Chains A and B, each alone.
Chain A
């Protein structure tokens, strides 16, 4: 059972928008930066968002992050079939003293 809660799966049609949630607590999401990764089968995770809402160079602005209280979200607009992957949120947990990841959300583009 992950410390950060994500929906197991989300789906939307190509061209549409999807939002993936990441729910935590005051000791993790509520007090530390959140990052988001996606992982394609057989490939290493790729950083999409850091510091809650910043994009590394090369990540298109179709990807955006936000945080409010103890929850964070990743929004992906103009969905493409290439966006199909597993998505994970992550943040430091000050009570546990570890970096924690969400259980992951599988995105299906219809």
Chain B
């Protein structure tokens, strides 16, 4: 079955960077775009961007341009999200999610990782 398993919780100081992994299994890694979505307490989800695991192409929400980097390692079917220059309002649960489309983006997500809590605090 399709699984997305994320790395564990992180506590970071303001100004630091965090890198979250999303290991996939149960399907061909290069067949579906992967997205990253975060949700801060009391707020709705916020889309951060996507990566094409096949060719490595990426697209980021303008809000995160210059601070977020999405990468992937096809040899281990894993995607990564790195967010730099962390601020307290970056504290949130970060999710990876698999796009429903095969080789194209539908921006609709049937499979999600379990979420990674990132706390930014001095």
Contacts and interface: CB of A to CB of B under 8 A. Distances in A.
A103 interface: yes
B108 A35 contact: yes
The 9 closest A-B pairs by CB, nearest first: A99-B47, A44-B112, A50-B108, A35-B108, A101-B45, A103-B44, A101-B44, A98-B61, A47-B110
A5 to B, nearest CB: 11
Interface in A73-102: 88, 90-92, 96-102
B29 to A, nearest CB: 19
Nearest to A103: B44
Interface string B72-113: 000000000000000000000001010010000011111011
A71 B86 CA distance: 36
20 contacts: A32-B107, A33-B107, A37-B109, A44-B95, A44-B114, A45-B37, A46-B112, A50-B108, A90-B108, A96-B62, A98-B47, A99-B61, A99-B107, A100-B47, A101-B44, A101-B46, A102-B44, A103-B43, A103-B44, A104-B44
B53 interface: no
Q: Which of A32, A47, A56 has the most CB of B within 10 A?
A: A47
Contact of B45 (A45, A50, A56): A45
A2 interface: yes
Interface residues of A, number: 26
A50 B107 CA distance: 10
Contacts of A2: 44
Nearest to A49: B108
Interface of A: 2, 32-33, 35, 37, 39, 44-47, 50-51, 56, 88, 90-92, 96-104
Interface string B36-68: 010100011111000000000000011100000
Contacts of B110: 47, 50, 56
Given A44-B113, A45-B95, A97-B62, A51 B108 contact: yes
A106 B6 CA distance: 26
A50 B115 contact: no
Nearest to B109: A47
